[in-house]
Structure 1
Amino acid sequence: MAGPQDVRTYSTELDLAGRRVVVFGGEATVLRHLARLLGTGAEITVVAPAVCPAIEAMAKAGRLRWHARSWQLNDLAYAWYAIASTRGDDAAIAEAAEKQRVFCTRTATEAIRTPAPDHPGPGVALIGAGPGDPDLITVRGRDLLRAADTVLVDRLAPLELLADLRPEVEIIDAAKLPYSRTTAQEQLNELLVDRARAGQFVVRLKGGDPYVFGCGFEEVTACAEAGVPVTVVPGVSSALAAPALAGIPVTYRGMTQEVTIVSGHLVPDQERSLVDWSALGQRKGTLVILMGVTHVARTTELLMRAGRDATTPALVVQDAATRFQRVLTSTLADLAEDCRTHDVTPPAVFVIGPTAGLKVPNVVAQPEPCLSS
């Protein structure tokens, strides 16, 4: 049963739901295969001494298991399907899989080049992929993604979107770039420009909307200054989508007529923070906080000290628009402790304000949220 086969067809030809699938290799090239596997309901195990940041994040989130070591024969025990994408061990893995009667694909067989559909020519497309569900990308974004020669992807972008890329498309995990965050951003900008100048159509795929705390303008500016054509495709921001998927509006007639979106990734009262938390504490409208899990205790403390009522309804949506979505209802005073109790982890969106306490029966969300309180 082992041997070369088209990886693009296994999700439809094989019923992998509840079956053990082992992926050997952790480079960014594996992401296209994991993208398909995630939608099959398979129990995924990745075996590799090191993996790209996107795979590491999926392991931490419990979406797959990662064994940080080289492959072993017993990795194939009880496996139903295997994918070999290593640097030199693929033949041995395929041979071992055949002896154990395990379906196996060697990704090195995907060397056939196919033309890109309606290739736009050299340039860069900055695409917002939406909050998590791959179906929430815009039609234009999906069309441009399919035409890409190279895709630079953030870990928060829906990886399922990579499943339909042509086999020869290069996938680069943007979080893999070395050095500090600022230096990595500079290298990413240079990579976009260099690939486009080499004649490629490059897609920068980002979660949410690239202009909402996404460094999108920095990347567009770098391309423009280098004379590289660049297209911006807006995306659905999690700041608005996450509350909606939890059944909560951020504005409501007669209750609130304003919504403020802020980043909570910095300690609220440190000098580098540009957010006026004292002013926000005196407002009555809806406050949406992105990237705020780490400092939620200090944030809520400052808001209450500035005048926000401790009983103000609060809500947190974790892993919005994915099958792992969780919704936690609380109050401003109890939010930090509830997050600790329920082990809330990034990515998560906080909603603080009167609308966070609204209760609407039979709200249909996609996917259905798991409600906690």
Structure 2
Amino acid sequence: MVGKVYLVGAGPGDPRLITVKGLNCIEQGDVIVYDRLANPSLLKKMKRGAEKIYVGKRTDRHTLKQEEINQLLVDLALSGKNVVRLKGGDPTIFGRVGEEAEMLRKHGITYEIVPGITAAISVPAYAGIPVTHRELASSMSIITGHESPDKLDESIDWEKVTNATGTLVFMMGVANIGHISKQLILHGRPSDTPVALIRWGTRAEQDTLIGNLGNIEQKVKEANFKPPAVTVVGDVVNQRDKLKWAENMPLFGTRILVTRTRTQASDLVRKIEDLGGETYEFPVIEIEMPAKEKLEATNAALQRLSEYDWVFFTSVNGVEYFFHHLERLGQDIRSLHKARISAVGPATKEALRRYGIVSEELPGRFQAEGLIEAFGDLLKAGQQVLLPRGDLARSWLPEILIEKGLSVTEAIMYETVPTHDEDDELLRLLHKGGIHAATFTSSSTVTNFLAALTQMGVENPVQALNGVKITCIGPVTANTAEKAGLEVDILAEEATIDSLVAGLCAWKLQNN
């Protein structure tokens, strides 16, 4: 059976700018063939077991010629795989999609072209530059700037192109900016025509250089401005002073590592991205049902719900899995009619509220110590306490309760297991200083992240995080990080995601 090939535009760089259809293709493809300008974060959306093949141009990777890429797509499809050819921007704009589609058609392979948001319009937009403007430019041209000057002169009719449209957008033209500027001036554009070069637009590395046709070549040399970049020529560039917005966001220019589980990461990721930061997800733990022997003990504990005087929930996962177990066992929450129920932290309290449970008020610290501070006088010897928790929860709380003479039942609701994903892109980013901050929301994320780096061949994981701002959600997590040899730079004032993000914003503001 012959597979199908999807020629997909990945958008300009920000992974959120891929189309819905493009994302669906990635999620369903058997193999992803991708290049340098496609954000590697998109590969994390691949289905389990899918293969990824890098074919872009990078100094540390082997580069395939276009003819070899064409043949690769054919071979993969003929082997029965559904293939996603993931290209930066839009595949039809200097993406050589025509050559790939022609080769597929020649071999009778079905394909689809899935358009993407081209960098020609999106990258200037992220720099505050609209490529058209009612009073300044009613038309635009998209022109390659990537060829050698001789080839550019062969492929571009400078006399017609120079004044054909109000805005000229050159793709990948940094190396040839001097030649491009001279040709435009020679053919009628004033030397004071505004020019903008936007490097790595929509990504954490986004950088914008402003000049005019007369001085932009010198400015590029002075700033050591490197590709990849989009070049915009025209009066619309002057709109940047009024319309730039991305640089004004609190976390602009910051790539933040998120180590939470895939199911838990979404809230933290959304909050960071809403504030202009770029996230890199590397979940180091997963949450699973308890193993058989632990599950039997959990079942026994939940059969005695009517006996408990207190139930203390110390995590959102504890709440979610508690109600999952109740449903599994056919139990009813009304069996806890005798118990007083309390939650550690506002997130855990909110999780209970979603199940119709209003927990006891817990002022003070958002950790287990706060329970003793709040209810110390009410905790009496002989009372029965249920602690629905994970297998790695701290022993401090049950030990204190037992010291006070209470009878404590620890019910393991879930187990925390490390993931084993290899991630070459993460290692590359760490090596090049591309991760600016790392977030840890539990002690297990710290321990398992360092273990994951070791497993990927990093000799000194702590040293690999030099220059990365270590961000912890609470003192317990911070203590684990410090014991492991990490220096904690940002500690959330409260053990909440909102407080964690606020700490990141405060750090970024201080270092602007």
> Same fold per TM (> 0.5)?
yes
Per the TM alignment, residue 269 of structure 1 is displaced from its structure 2 partner at its CA by 4.2
Query: Aligned runs of 1:70-149 on 2, under 5 Å?
Result: 122-149=3-30
Per the TM alignment, residue 278 of structure 1 is displaced from its structure 2 partner at its CA by 2.9
Q: 1:257 aligns with which of 135, 138, 151?
A: 138
Tell me the equivalent position of 2:40. 159
Deviations 1:148-197 (A, max 9, x none): 111110111111101232342211111379xxx99821221111111111
Distance 1:184 1:284 in 2: 34
Tell me the equivalent position of 1:310. 191
More RCO (CA 8 Å, sep 6+): 1
- After TM superposition, the structure 1 stretch with the greater mean CA deviation from structure 2, 136-145 or 181-190, is 181-190
State the Cα RMSD in Å. 2.5
Q: Answer yes or no: is the 8 Å Cα contact 1:281–1:305 preserved in 2.
A: no
Letter in 1 for 2:217: A
Per the TM alignment, residue 263 of structure 1 is displaced from its structure 2 partner at its CA by 0.4
Distance 2:42 2:63 in 1: 27
Q: Which has the larger radius of gyration?
A: 2
Tell me the equivalent position of 1:341. 222
Distance 2:153 2:191 in 1: 27
Tell me the equivalent position of 1:299. 180
Establish whether residue 246 from structure 1 lines up as the match of residue 127 from structure 2.
yes
More helix by share: 2
Is the partner of 1:289 in helix, strand or coil? Answer: strand
> Which sections of structure 1, spanning at least 5 residues, go unmatched?
1-119
Cα distance, 1:367–1:230 mapped onto 2, change above 3 Å: farther
Letter in 2 for 1:301: K
Establish whether residue 290 from structure 1 lines up as the match of residue 171 from structure 2.
yes
Per the TM alignment, residue 366 of structure 1 is displaced from its structure 2 partner at its CA by 8.0
How many residues matched?
248
Per the TM alignment, residue 123 of structure 1 is displaced from its structure 2 partner at its CA by 0.7
Letter in 2 for 1:219: E
Deviations 1:115-162 (A, max 9, x none): xxxxx9821011000000011000111111111111110111111101
Tell me the equivalent position of 2:105. 224
Q: Answer yes or no: is the 8 Å Cα contact 1:315–1:350 preserved in 2.
A: yes
Cα distance, 1:333–1:367 mapped onto 2, change above 3 Å: same
Distance 1:213 1:347 in 2: 14
Q: Answer yes or no: is the 8 Å Cα contact 1:321–1:367 preserved in 2.
A: no
Relative to the length of structure 2, the TM-score reads 0.46
Deviations 1:59-110 (A, max 9, x none): xxxxxxxxxxxxxxxxxxxxxxxxxxxxxxxxxxxxxxxxxxxxxxxxxxxx
Query: Aligned runs of 1:196-235 on 2, under 5 Å?
Result: 196-235=77-116
Deviations 1:305-347 (A, max 9, x none): 1111011111111000101101111111111111111121111
- Over 4 Å off, 4+ runs: 269-272, 366-370
Relative to the length of structure 1, the TM-score reads 0.62
Distance 2:246 2:125 in 1: 8
Deviations 1:204-260 (A, max 9, x none): 000000000000111111111211110111000001111111111111112211101
- After TM superposition, the structure 1 stretch with the greater mean CA deviation from structure 2, 329-338 or 130-139, is 329-338
Cα distance, 1:157–1:262 mapped onto 2, change above 3 Å: same
Establish whether residue 351 from structure 1 lines up as the match of residue 253 from structure 2.
no
Letter in 2 for 1:186: E
Cα distance, 1:277–1:362 mapped onto 2, change above 3 Å: closer
Letter in 2 for 1:154: D
